[in-house]
Amino acid sequence: MSDLFKKAISLGWGLTVVSKEKVERVVDDLVKRGELAPSESKALVDRLIGRGEEEQAHFKTMIREQVAKVLKELNVPNENDMASLEQRIAVLEQQVVELEKEKAAVSVQPSSDEGNLPG
């Protein structure tokens, strides 16, 4: 995973964590000023944090889609392409082994002319 992608994901996570702390502080201030009942504060914090998590999930999805799009535009092989290539390589390697065995077997066998050569 590229550093830029990691930083972007970390930023998304960081924003959610910072937002949670800020939400809790703001809600605490509202409770202290009497603008929000203490019994309502947890529900409000939970609702706002839930919204932050939804935003984070949306952010991750958007980043993944953009990365996939860029990789496709750059013709970077995907997992299926790599598996297909690995399978083709394995078949070719097996064919090379078989050809080498055939070549070795042919070079070891005396030809029919060897016995008739003048000596």
The Cβ of residue 66 has, within 10 Å, a number of other Cβ atoms equal to 12
The whole-number pLDDT of residue 1 equals 47
pLDDT tens for the chain, 119 residues long, are 455 555 555 555 555 556 677 778 888 888 898 888 888 888 888 887 788 788 888 888 999 999 999 999 999 999 999 999 999 999 999 999 999 999 998 887 765 555 555 55
The whole-number pLDDT of residue 115 equals 53
Smallest CA-to-CA distance from 56 within 97, 91, 15 is with 15
The whole-number pLDDT of residue 28 equals 87
